[in-house]
Structure 1
Amino acid sequence: MASNGPSQNDEQHMIGEGHIFSHHTAPDITRFEAVLSSILKGPALTYSSGFSALHAALVLLNPKCIAILDGYHGCHGVIEVHQKLTGLKKLDLYYDASELETGDVVHVETPLNPKGQAGAFLVVDETFDPPPLQDPFLWGADTVMHSGTRYVGGHSDMLCVILAVNPERAKEGWFEGLTKERLFLGNAMGNMESWMGIRSVRTLEVRVKRQAFNAGTSGLVKRVVGKLDHASLQEQDIKDGWLLKRLPGKLALFHHATSLGGVESLIKWRSMTDLKVDTRLLRVSIGIEGELVQDP
């Protein structure tokens, strides 16, 4: 009786095509990563979240120490996991960098003036300076992270983080190592998110340039008031964040939401999700709308 299943030759042909399980490769993931590699000027891999991308980088590099500033609280959570697993030591980038040795990691967020120290590997979180604004590889970065959830995705509807490897480090096997380890770490992004990412990168340059214009002096912001004194402005309302907590809900065009980098303008009272942040801080993400100046 003839078998309805694939023959050995059929299985070998499918393996040759490269797409068997989507946690390894899939057409949309492969296409998305190919486009990103061209844009970022280095081979790129996608991950399901920022946590998993930093975890993957630390698994690959396995440093004894990592120097970092405050930055994204999620990075510190991942570092705490590695402290428990490997004894990773966290250093303050400003005060303890002299303890770094060859093979350790410096993790920075731009905009900043990054540099390698004492042979340490430089990992740059480029979320706030997406292409075409900056290329950290020109300044010596070994690995660059981009939040696909933010500017690359641009619509606040997908989870994704990108790791791009300096081409020189790729020659040393870094990209191959990340690709292999992603399979076993199980942190590949889904097919739907990959398709949405392909959709998004088509408009990346147009969106970023428009957002930069809206946020710059030639767009929405004409001048900045350094200080305003008036009897109606009570300092105690500002000190404990009472006023700033309520301000986002009073705006018409800005939505009070936690994302950034999308086509819609958002504002967020940061202490809502990160208790370590100053209660007087509001984060504003400028979108591509032309009506922002009309918001009361």
Structure 2
Amino acid sequence: MTLELAPRLSWEERERRKRRRDAVSSWTLLAPAIIMLGLMVGYPAIQMIWQSFTDYQVRHKIQKTAPEFVGLDNYIAIITRSDFPVVVARTIGIMILTTTLIMVLGVLVALLMTKIGRVMRVTLSIGLLLAWAIPPLTASVVWGFIFDTEYGLVNWALNTATGTQLWHNHSWLLNPLTFVMVLTIIVVWGAIPFVAFTSYAALGQIPRETIEAAEIDGAGGWKRFWNVVFPAIRPVLGGLLVLQIIWNMKLFTQVYALQSRGGIASETNVLPVYLFRQGIGEFGATSAIGMLIVIIMLAISWFNIRQLLKEDQS
């Protein structure tokens, strides 16, 4: 009995040592990335959380004095402002609108890329890459000129099409609804390429035999997509959806650029711009707004994140 058990124990010990070496090697390789992530993300996050519970202002920095701990006063003051619920609702509404359009149109473009020929696919890919490569600020300026009050292409085209001057000096940015329309066009136009390329790559991983089997069974285009294609790319779409929710909740450049071209800030603010306009040096209040943005994004994305985690575990 003893002679048979000794080799087994020796094998188990070797396995434990091997796992220990693998763990040490893995953590050694991950250590630089973890340290950089901690310095670039962890430390600022901790600072923001701490500042949100204090009255930290620029005067404390100049005078080199310590801020006072005020607890939840910053959060209460922000939440009880009359304009804050409106800004939150506007931010979430724009996020839902832009995210829906980006996801739907991006997947449709990806499906189109699987059906067209190589030349057309390359041409479409180049166009998407150009739209994706343009910085958000540059895109906002260009689209701002297109919808310009005096020299805009849209006003000229509408006057030409109607044969009137009804659209002369028409401002698209003064009205909050048309402001959101222009903003949506800019955001969707710039974000579709990422969703389209990622979805197209996911579609390429679906076995052709599976789709052909569905065709032989008599499934139409919609049934093939819903019962075969969509389940196969759902994890990818789930990740894209979470990213789009986060990115569209953090819209700043496009909103601020359009406001600078004539939009009324008080009627078109979203949370990131609202944070920026709180005043220079109000670190405590702005940190509290930043924490509220993070909480809202996590609350909205939580369901999708849970679904992704469940699929990874299964």
More helix by share: 2
Q: What band does the TM-score fall into relative to the shorter chain?
A: under 0.3
Give the TM-score of the pair, scaled to structure 2.
0.23
When you count strand as a share of all residues, which structure comes out higher?
1
Which has the bigger relative contact order, CA under 8 A and spacing at least 6? 2
- Using the size of structure 1 for normalisation, the TM-score is 0.24
